Every structure is written in structure tokens, then in C-alpha cells.
Amino acid sequence: MGIYGALSTAVSGLRAQSHALENISGNIANSQTTGYKRIETSFSDMIADAPVKQQVAGAVAAQSRGTNGEQGDIKAVTNETFIALNSNGFFVVEPKNGTTDGVPTFAGSNYYTRRGDFEIDKDGLLVNGAGYYLKGLPVDTKTGNVSGAVPDVIRLSNAFLPAQQTTRINYQANLPQLPKNASYDATVKGSELMNTVDYAAPATTIGTAGLDGSAAMDTIVNAGDMVTVKASTGTAVVFEFFDGAAGAYAGANTGIDIRTVPPVSIDAALADMQTKFRALGGTGAESATIGLSGGQISVTLGANKTATLGATSAGGVLGLPATGSPDATPAPVLPRLSTIPASSNSQFLADSVPGGSITTYAKNGAPAVVVLQWAKVDSAASGVGHADTWNLYYMSDSTATGSATMWTQAGGDYTFGPDGSMSPSIPTTTITGLTVNGVNVGNVELQHGNGGMSQQADVNGKVSTSTLNQNGYGAGEFVSVGISDNGRVVATYSNGERIDMAQVVTAQFNAVNQLKRMDGGVFAATSESGEPMLDTTGNGILGGSLEASNSDISDEFTKLIITQQAYAAGTKIVSTANDMLQQALSMIR
């Protein structure tokens, strides 16, 4: 081949360097193009068939090599619909193929791009700067789950968001082992409890009605009569009535003077009994009262809400049973109150601690503020058969008066064991027909979860709420849209709700550099690239970000210098071969 071969090889080199120069030029031109993937040039030698000892270096061929798998720099931007990919995937996009009645139409073809500068157009579609529309899968706005399997152009609606009725309240909290409410008195055992008896009957009465406190005590008892009164957590006190006019009391019991001259009134005798019972009856009787109420003798334990009262007589005195000893069993389990009347509101607030509040919504979007209040109704300290027990109430009518219901119980007893956990566990309970101030929310599931409610010691004696939210909302107007880091297209409304509208789909390829490059930074799948593998999880998607070109100008300038020198050297070969040919032709002249 000789000179002609050298000339042909030099021309192939010039052609290859021209191809490289074209790629370098394009890379530099697109150094600021969003999501652009530079093209490298690969050179391969072309060897003519010849014996081993006559082989030559051969010509050269230039081929383009993609860098589709090499990521460009990712930068943060303020536009919430701009997205980037921190993975080897591609956004699935599609160009419009026409317009019908002013609305874009699509053929259903899929293309792939790294260019994520998507913005909302007038039709509510997300389109990037190259005119390609983002595709994804719809999301069920009620459940938040992706529906469908075939990506389609994402269409957003700025329609009014209808209200969603509250059907679930998530509530988790720690209740203090010792609630320090307004009724709590560190010196009075059980003062922290809500004594439900106080809301029904104000006192325990004994004897027959119609007594007059100014009448003489000896009109209802005789000297020598005995009455025993005992608090279940205290000491029995045996009262023995005697005639003080005949001399001082010399018996072994607690004497109560009922002399006739001058006469001792019923009020005075009962007051004497009260003073002595408080002094001698132990801790259960420290705030006890003995007196007349409605014409009957009334005996109560006052502020003591954990004990019960027992009273007997030696022979049916004052209408008491003629038994040997008063009741000394542990305090009975008090009855539960399903409702609290407005007339008892002050007492209830003093006996309970706040549990937080939350706004719920009726079916028509009407708000209803649910105010929660916890009352401890029993304590393990009361003795055998008792446990730390709480009741939860919500304010059902803040305008109630008199005997009308103001507070309503939510669920049943919340009982806690020694370790502070619920026993039995109550992961969920239902508030049936939740109605607040006339707004009917309906049945609401109160979800505590496993271990969501506890009773641990708290120095402040207050309820510590860790979770309190609900799933309803009022109606709202469309405000804006953004794309989150997990690829969810999220619409924001005037009521503060953020609703997932669609899921951005990404695609990956086994042979990513075998994709066919097209205008606008998009690629088409080929038989060499393989079929796309779709990902609906949103992995790698970064909201509020853009991927820059992976073309580096400094590298491209370095390659430009090398290419220029190689091209110049190739031209020298052509001129040298030409001179040699001229000399060869001159030999025959």
C-alpha cells in the first residue's frame, strides 16, 4: 500500500479527530444544559488483512460513547416542582402529539430523561423546559396508596378540596401515677381521686328523718346506749351515751354527755361525736363529719375518698343495725359516671387533669374541638380488689347548664398494673356518636396502639401527651403543588392540608449507554438497552433540586487541545505523502 496507504490512514485520522471535535463542541455547548450527558469519543484501529511480517498500524475509526450513567452535580433550587435523581434512573416523560379543543393529546409513548425542571402549565400538567410531560401513577387521596401500574401523564386539579370526616383520633399519653389536681391534698389519702358518690349523693345518712337539731339528745338515745363508728382504713370508735348530771363518765369507751339539766341538744352531741371521731378514728376519719342533714343524722368521711364507713349499735340505736362490729372491709369500687352535669363542672375540673384538645371535623367540614379530661377513679392504694383506674371524658356541650350533660365519658376503664402499663391493653376504643356543641362528628375510633398509654410517676402530676392527631379536615382551596423527596406530587390547600396526588415513576436500564439520544435531553429505549425497569417507590428522587450537566469545561478544553494537535499532525502526514508522490512522479521526467 505504501504512500497511498499512509495517505488513506491519515485521512481516517483526520475524519476521526473531526468526529471527536464535534463531540467536544457539543459537550462545551451543553455545559449549562440541565441533565445533559456528555458524549465521549472512542477510537479503534482498523487493520488490513496481511501476513504477520507485513502488517501495518492501520487506519482509525471514531465512535461515540455515552455517559448516561454518570451523574452531574445536584443543586438545590426554590421551585418545589423541580426534581433531580440521585440514582441511575430516568424520569418517564412523553411529548404531546397534538391539541384537541385546546387540550394537549398524547399517544402513550414513553421517553426517558434526567432533565427535571418541571413546571405546571395552563392545563395542570407538569412539563419540563424541553417540552416533555412528566408521567406517573395516580394516588388514592383517601388511603395514600398508589393505584394502577401503567404510567400516564400526571394531571393536576385545582378543584376545591371537599371536607373529610374525622373517623380516627390517634392518642398516646402518659398519665401521672399521682394526679395533682385541684382537689389533691398531700395530707389526705385518696384526695386525688374523683369520688363519684359526690356527684350523686352528698352524704351517707343514718336514722329516721324529722330530727330537730335544737331538741334534746336524750329524746332519741338513752344513757348506756352505744354506737360504734369506723372508717375502713382507720380505728373503730365506740361512743357510749351517759348522763353527765349524775357524774363524769367512768367507762372504757368514748363518752358522750346527754344530760337533761341543762339539756344537751342533738346538734351539740353530734358535734362532740365529730370532734372525738376525728381525733380517735385514725387516718380514715381525719376529715369526717357527723351532723344533721335533711332531718337525718349524716355521717361522712369528708375528703377521704378511698375508705368506706361502717356504723353499728348495741341495740338498734339511731336506726343502726344491732351487729357486733362495723364494716371494716376495703373501700368498695365506686360506680362510674357516664356523664357529668354542668352543675358539677367545677367539682369535676377539680377532680381531674387536662388531657389535651384537638379539632375534629363533621361530614360537612364543620369543626368540633374535642377537649379531653382524665379522672382517676380508683387506686391500688385502696387495698385488695383495687387497681389504678382512669376514666377519659370529653366536653360534649360547653354551653350546658344545670342538670344538662356537659362532659361525656369516652370508652371504659383504663386500668394500669404496677409496671405502669395498661392491663388489659386497650389498643383502640370507639367513641360512639361523638357530638360536640351540637356538631355531630359520628363514630370515631380512638387509637392508642400497643403500649401507647401508660401510667408512670410524674413530678408535675400532669398528663404528658406524645401523640394527638386525627384524619379529618375541612374544605379548602388549591394553593400550590410540589414534589417531595419520595417522588410524591403533593397539592397544598388553604386549610393547611397536603394531599398526595400522584407518584413519579422512574425507569432503569441494564445497558444505560445503549439508549438512543434524542432532542431535548431525552432518550428512547432500544433493543440493545433492554426494556425499562419501572420503580414506583420514589427512591433517589430529590424534590426542589436540579441535576446539572456532567460536562466539565476544563476537561473538554484539555481534550480540545489534544484533538487539535492530533488533527494538525494528520495534516502533516497528508502533505508529506503528497511530497513523496510528487517526487515519485518526477522520476520519470
C-alpha cell at 527: 433493543
Q: Which CATH architecture has domain 168-184+335-470?
A: Sandwich (2.60)
Phi, psi of 206 (to 5 degrees): -135, 160
Q: DSSP readout, 94-130?
A: E---EEETTEEE-----EEE---B-EE-TTSBEE-TT
Give the percent of the chain with pLDDT over 70: 93
pLDDT of residue 589: 61
Tell me the pLDDT tens digit for each residue of 217-240: 988 888 889 888 888 778 889 999
How crowded is the C-beta side of 11, counted as CA atoms within 13 Å?
8
**E runs forming strands in 484-520:** 488-493, 498-504, 506-508, 516-518
Q: Which residues pair with 525 in a beta bridge?
A: none
- Model-level pTM? 0.62
pLDDT of residue 197: 64
pLDDT of residue 202: 39
State the DSSP H helix or E strand holding residue 572, giving kind and residue range, or none if neither: helix 553-586
pLDDT of residue 333: 57
8 A C-beta contact, residue 134 and residue 501 = no
pLDDT of residue 358: 97
Domain residue spans of the chain: 2-70+550-586, 74-162+477-547, 168-184+335-470, 201-319
pLDDT of residue 45: 77
d(CA 463, CA 271): 41
pLDDT of residue 334: 63
Please enumerate in sequence order all residues whose Cβ is within 8 A of that of 46, keeping only pairs 6 or more positions apart, or say none.
12, 58, 59, 60, 61
With a cut of 50, which residues of the chain have pLDDT below it?
201-204, 323-325, 327-331
pLDDT of residue 205: 52
Tell me the pLDDT tens digit for each residue of 357-378: 999 999 999 999 999 999 999 8
Of 330, 451, 339, the closest CA to residue 400 belongs to 339
8 A C-beta contact, residue 488 and residue 500 = yes
